[in-house]
Homo-oligomer: A and B are copies of this chain.
Amino acid sequence: VRQHGPDTLGTALVNGIEGDAVSVLDRGLAYGDGVFRTLRVLDGRPFLWSRQYAKLAADCAALKLSVPARPLLEREVSHIAAHIPDAIVKIIVTRGAAARGYAIPRAAKPHRILISAPLAHRRGPVSGVEVLLCETRLALQPRLAGIKHLNRLENVLARSEWREPAIAEGLLRDIEGNVISGTMSNLFLVRGGRLLTPELTRCGVAGVQRARIIELARRHKMPLQIGRLGIEDVYAADEVFLVNSVIGLWPVIKLGRKKWKAGETAAEIRQWLKQDERD
């Protein structure tokens, strides 16, 4: 399946107007001063929309950006994905265009940029993936931790560590050695029937799918621990899996020489996620 080419795109909307360009003065370009979301849109309906919008609003608030109104954004998402049955829509909210300088202009008006593309790989649940342990480490920045902001060079560096198509994702540690996430996914471990996931108070992105699984675990009374985890915890885990709202859930079956079988807990959580969609 070919990825959507770099010079073509389904459609883009910039502040509600069809177009494929933003101002060279946009602070999103200048400083990464903005946030984003990537959502799956099925038949024009954004998947997990309430959660996605709530997270966008929270991330905007964290950067003191005003979030676009929900009905407006919802209309635009539906519009942009109207002719793509199974689409990925990326929403970017930036601080807007401004003169040079880090100071946030009082009059700054946020820009909203929506980009749609067909989902490149439409397929059933992935049975298991191989991952790499990245050398790139995440810096500790509590002020930005959890936020899906536009400063993503660490993710770019980490993702550039491999080209082998067999490797689906890379595991990231922070500079102290704590395991944090994948380059574009959140991480869960299972050990002795307990679900473990890294705390993301000093780095990393706290994704919508992670939040959903944490909630579902609580609802289903599965023991859950959010805390600091080392790479030894990964190797010692009975199951390892990665999640985000586009991929769903990927069981990890290989990391270096270590192998796992796709486990029962991952399968159970997939069932929860499926039921939750129908709710």
Chain B, residue nearest A103 (CB): B159
State the Cβ distance, A172 to closest chain B Cβ, in Å: 11
Asked whether A159 and B105 contact (CB < 8 A) given A23-B20, A99-B3, A117-B99, the answer is no
Binds B, one of A26-34, A50-58, A190-198, A230-238: A26-34
A108 in the interface, Cβ–Cβ < 8 Å? yes
Binds B, one of A88-96, A211-219, A248-256: A88-96
A31 touches B153 (CB 8 A): yes
Asked whether A5 and B99 contact (CB < 8 A) given A22-B21, A140-B175, the answer is yes
B160 touches A6 (CB 8 A): no
Write out the residue numbers on chain B whose beta carbons fall within 8 Å of the beta carbon of A105.
6
Partner of A150, one of B6, B31, B102: B31
Interface residues of A in 78-119 (CB under 8 A from B): 88, 90, 92, 94-105, 107-108, 113, 115, 117
Asked whether A29 and B26 contact (CB < 8 A) given A90-B100, A107-B6, the answer is yes
How many chain copies does the complex carry?
A: 2
Write out the residue numbers on chain B whose beta carbons fall within 8 Å of the beta carbon of A38.
100
A222 in the interface, Cβ–Cβ < 8 Å? no
Interface residues of A in 135-157 (CB under 8 A from B): 136-137, 139-141, 143-144, 149-157
Asked whether A157 and B143 contact (CB < 8 A) given A29-B29, A31-B152, the answer is yes
Write out the residue numbers on chain B whose beta carbons fall within 8 Å of the beta carbon of A14.
24
A33 touches B153 (CB 8 A): yes
State the Cβ distance, A25 to closest chain B Cβ, in Å: 6
Give Cα A156–Cα B115 distance, bound, in whole angstroms.
26
B150 touches A32 (CB 8 A): yes
Write out the residue numbers on chain B whose beta carbons fall within 8 Å of the beta carbon of A107.
6
A141 touches B143 (CB 8 A): no
Give Cα A3–Cα B104 distance, bound, in whole angstroms.
13
Q: List 20 A-B contacts (CB under 8 A).
A: A6-B98, A7-B97, A19-B24, A21-B21, A22-B24, A24-B92, A24-B113, A26-B29, A27-B156, A30-B150, A31-B32, A33-B156, A88-B100, A99-B117, A102-B155, A104-B156, A139-B141, A141-B154, A143-B157, A150-B153
